[in-house]
Amino acid sequence: MEKKQPNMNLGAAVLFIIFSLLFFVLLIRFVSIQITGEVAGQNLAAKAHQKYMKKNTIDATRGTIYDRKGEVVAEDTISYTLVAILDKSMKPHYVSNPKMTARKLAKYIDLSKDEIYERLTVKDKFQVEFGKAGRDLSHQTKKKIEALKLPGITFRRELKRFYPNGVFASHLVGFVEKIEDKNGHAKSAGVLGIEKTLNSELTGKAGSVQFESDYWGYLLPDEKEKIIPAVNGDNVYLTIDKKIQTFLEDAMNKVEKEYNPAKIIAVVADPKTGEILAMGQRPTFHPKTREGLEKSWYNEVIENAFEPGSTMKIFTLAAAVEENVFGPNEWYESGSYRVTKNSPVIRDHNGSGWGPITYLEGIQRSSNVAVAKIVNEKLGFEKFREYLTKFGFEKPTGIELPNEVTGKIKYEWPIEKITTAYGQGTTVTPIQLIQAAIAVANDGKMLKPHVIDKIVDSQTGEVISETKPEITGTPISKETAKKVRDILGTVVTSPKGTGYNRYNIEGYEVAGKTGTANIPGPNGNYLNGNNDYLFSFLGMAPKDDPELIMYVAVQQPVVESYFDGAKPVSKIFNTVMKSSLQYLNIKPAKQKNAVATPVPDVTGASVEKATETLQNKGFDIVLTGKGKTIEAQLPSENSTMLEGEKIILKTEGDVTVPDMTGWSRRDVMKFAKIGGLQLNLTGSGYVTKQKPNPGVSLKKGEYLIANLETPDKQFNNMIQQQNNDEHGVEEVRD
């Protein structure tokens, strides 16, 4: 045993030396760490601070969007997402009884207990959610689930965008969605409409709370939180009026259901301020669910330019009146017209025209030939081109909505210059039409259309910016604007007008212009189906002092025949315009009670004296003959007639046939009797055709022939003729 002692001592000495070295290495390492505070180049104090210093984000509330009267259009609301903790290391805060949990949760979310159980038993998951069924839960539902005291069931609080009106100017308002940034963090961003245009103003700035915690994440004793408060987004007030927008949405819903059109576009504006009071389209979408968005991403009012059809004639007429070259009582030959020898023939929409008619009647009937002659022979191409610029057709309006486009003016060849005048070839946007029409409605002053009323600081209530009416031009004078409105009023009131019996609103006078434009096909040619048209109307009311202006276009409605295309347009225009005027307390025009008045005897009196006497009593005078003294009158003296009825006065000589279009059977019979003419009448209603033409003199005993039709039949026949057009440059209808 004694022989082994030296070996044991040696081993012990070696171990002692090794442990001593390790001790000194650890000691040196400890001292080094104490002195430098670093390990592997990393600061330990910073690492500890990073581990135990907690920083939570305080979400900023997105600004609220209101209508002009403070009704909420879009706002942030709190919602909750249901979360289930599955990791057993979180004991007791995990789902320990999946069957019981699934059974109880099935009463409060839209999933079966089996579907919930399947989610609660997924392997190797720390936590799970429940898809759409577990998102956007209300506070009430959250409280009910919490009352169940289910282990492992918790909630994540979120801010969600809420649109209380559902489908409501959806393309104008837009929507918000979560978008991941480059760091993988999700944040809300506006998509489409005002939500996109004013995203930075609405978004606000997130805040934070920072504090030191223990191992479990709780605030350490005597530690103070460092809070940077969130700055909520600004509130936006639109010019949209919730009531008028609702009128529009309801009217479009009914027309969409009844006629199933490819598109509907509609805008209502205040011509005195340029404010857009309502804007809508079909197809549309629900801003919360996005349902329908795949059918139409574009705001048709702002982002789509198309051939406007005969609504463009409003501005050709206005230019001619302003330049004093429009003679309403001047006659021209309707039917067809060539700009140059080699240019295509321009035809009126019925193919044959109406013979010699006045330019006023040409506008009422929406004669392409009338407009062509005005631009080519009276106004001049260069002057008309100046008015296209004055009315703002070559640049965007600048309305506060994203992606606004402008149309394209085709104005190189003579035929293009003519077709532009009546709405073919050249393209415009609906918002450009609205801006230009404001000049007519607003006594010559053209205003920039806008949809933002003001932006307000959500925390202080201070108005950050406010939109004021902005004049963008004065293309016509006040006097011209009034004359144009009066002429456009006859488009609706005259039996010859394309808007007759379609856009009359009881109690209010309407001025406006119809349009029926062809639709370009994929091969560059126009579509030629019975319903392949864009039917439209651009109107304002009340005529003498317009408070509202409205554009409605309905593309390819499903109707029995072509001439029914105006029906869906008028159902939207008339309904919305009348309801809106009444809502705005615009008083209807006073309806005069018809007064029965005895007819005085004016035989033997001079033409001037007789005319003055009868006109002072409110009668409509029809004078025929070539003399200066009244020889006969019908009705005769002591007859009783209503104000506005016709009295036929005859002087010496042969009778001169007047334009009898729109006359009643009774009036035609009076004229034939006083002239001693043989009368041949066919049909019932009001005169649509006559022979001989106006201006022809007839001797006693000669024949007067007149064809009469009811107003409905007149309209249907007129549109049916449009559908049978001959070939030529007559694609734009009325």
Residues with catalytic annotation?
310
Handedness of CA 238, 239, 243, 245 (dihedral sign): negative
Local structure of 581: helix, strand or coil: helix
**Tokens representing residue 509 in the block:** 């006078």
Are the C-beta atoms of 101 and 153 separated by less than 8 Å?
yes
Dist. CA 469–CA 478, nearest whole Å:
18
**Tokens representing residue 298 in the block:** 């574009």
Local structure of 309: helix, strand or coil: helix
**Nearest to 397, CA basis, from 466, 470, 299:** 470
Are the C-beta atoms of 716 and 502 separated by less than 8 Å?
no
Residues, the chain: 734
**Tokens representing residue 556 in the block:** 């390819």
Dist. CA 169–CA 193, nearest whole Å:
9
Phi first, then psi, for residue 255 (nearest 5°) are -65, -40
Write down the residue that tokens 């009131």 correspond to.
Answer: 493
Dist. CA 604–CA 255, nearest whole Å:
59
Are the C-beta atoms of 576 and 268 separated by less than 8 Å?
yes
Q: Calculate helix-pair angle for 242-259, 566-583, nearest 10 degrees.
A: 160
Are the C-beta atoms of 478 and 544 separated by less than 8 Å?
no
- 635 upstream amide cis, omega within 30 of 0: yes
CA distances in angstroms from 467 to 22, 63, 470, listed in the order given: 79, 18, 9
Q: Calculate helix-pair angle for 313-322, 381-390, nearest 10 degrees.
A: 110
- CB under 8 Å to 699, separation ≥6 — which residues? 654
* Cα angle value 63/68/73 (rounded, 5°): 45
Dist. CA 583–CA 570, nearest whole Å:
19
Dist. CA 365–CA 351, nearest whole Å:
13
Q: Where are the beta strands (DSSP E) in 402-560?
A: 446-447, 452-456, 463-466, 471-473, 511-518, 533-541, 548-555
3-state helix, strand, coil in the chain (%, to 5): 35, 25, 40
CA distances in angstroms from 303 to 156, 292, 466, 534, 650, listed in the order given: 39, 18, 25, 17, 60
Amino acid identity of residue 698, one-letter, is L
- CB under 8 Å to 283, separation ≥6 — which residues? 263, 292, 295, 296
Q: Calculate helix-pair angle for 414-421, 381-390, nearest 10 degrees.
A: 50
